[in-house]
Amino acid sequence: MPSPFGLDNKVAIVTGSSRGIGRSIAEHCAALGAKVVVSSRKADACEEVAAGIRGKGGEATVIPCNISRKPEVEALIDGTIKQYGGIDVLVCNAAVNPYYGPLAGISDEAFDKIMASNIKSNLWLCNLAIPNMVARGGGAVIIISSIGGIRGTEVLGAYGISKAADFALARNLACEWGPKNVRVNCVAPGLVKTDFARALWENEEMVKRRNAATPLRRIGMPDEIGGVAAFLAGPAASFITGQVIVADGGVTIS
């Protein structure tokens, strides 16, 4: 019996995969046998990740992409199909948060940037990639969201709104594409030690309070999210779609 967690010969695109959670997802997928497309804005940073995957016997290629620019998103999808012949797994991980503070103070420009990069770009990616998955008999989409989409906050409201919208995007796409054997799910991490969240976890007092309120008494690490996404990409999750998998050390239950 083949492993229910294997991704042998599957082609996986992971956006925002030059560091942090995205990098871990790319490395996990490659370790399980996938051919991984490492993608973020900076080609050099992506190549470092791809080289590490190849050094461990995996297969990876680099296609840089700024997910806020539709022509670059189109080039990412087209380049993957040209390189590997198709797409089986799409991980929408790249996101932005240019504003920290109350919603009363956010500019239209910052709000629009968050919504465009964190929601609209995911729709672009899915609309371009999923038809190819259908042609191959099915596939899996994993959108990396956040518990910010579940909980309110005084300083990350716009980001949280965008992440809540990702939940709805996954549910609707799951309904649309389920009959064609394409699954769409979200992962909602809590606070994870990444460069993206550095302003939060470098605040010792804030982390102390967060740890005290978290059943596991600590924040997360990127590899604790990478494995969840890789699980959702594989056959072990073949009956899971339209769901939000929370990985937060239990902070949202306490």
- The verdict on whether 84 is a catalytic residue reads no
Q: What is the mean pLDDT of residues 92-110?
A: 97
pLDDT 10s digits, 167-216: 999 999 999 999 999 999 999 999 999 877 777 777 888 889 999 999 99
Nearest CA among 48, 49, 3 for reference residue 30 = 49
Give the model's pLDDT for residue 236.
98
pLDDT 10s digits, 138-166: 999 999 999 999 999 999 999 999 999 99
How far, in Å, are 40, 45, 71, 147 from residue 23 at the CA level? Answer: 10, 10, 23, 20
Q: What is the mean pLDDT of residues 103-131?
A: 98
Which sequence spans correspond to the domains of the chain? 11-193+223-245
Nearest CA among 13, 148, 158, 5 for reference residue 86 = 13
Question: How far is C-alpha 166 from the chain's CA centre?
Answer: 11
d(CA 254, CA 223): 23
Q: Which residue, chain included where needed, has tokens 């902070």?
A: 251
d(CA 230, CA 236): 10
Give the model's pLDDT for residue 204.
85
Query: In the CATH scheme, what is the homologous superfamily, with its name and number, of domain 11-193+223-245?
Result: NAD(P)-binding Rossmann-like Domain (3.40.50.720)
16 vs 193, residue with greater confidence: 16
Average pLDDT of the chain, as a whole number? 96
Q: Is the dihedral of CA 231, 22, 224, 124 positive or negative?
A: negative
d(CA 54, CA 37): 12
Angle at alpha carbon of residue 20, lines to 149 and 199, rounded to 5°: 65
Q: What is the mean pLDDT of residues 118-127?
A: 98
Q: In the chain, what are the helix, strand and coil shares in percent, each to the nearest 5?
A: 50, 15, 35
Give the model's pLDDT for residue 56.
98
Q: Are 36 and 105 in contact (CB under 8 A)?
A: no
Catalytic position from the list 84, 99, 100, 159: 159
Give the model's pLDDT for residue 186.
98
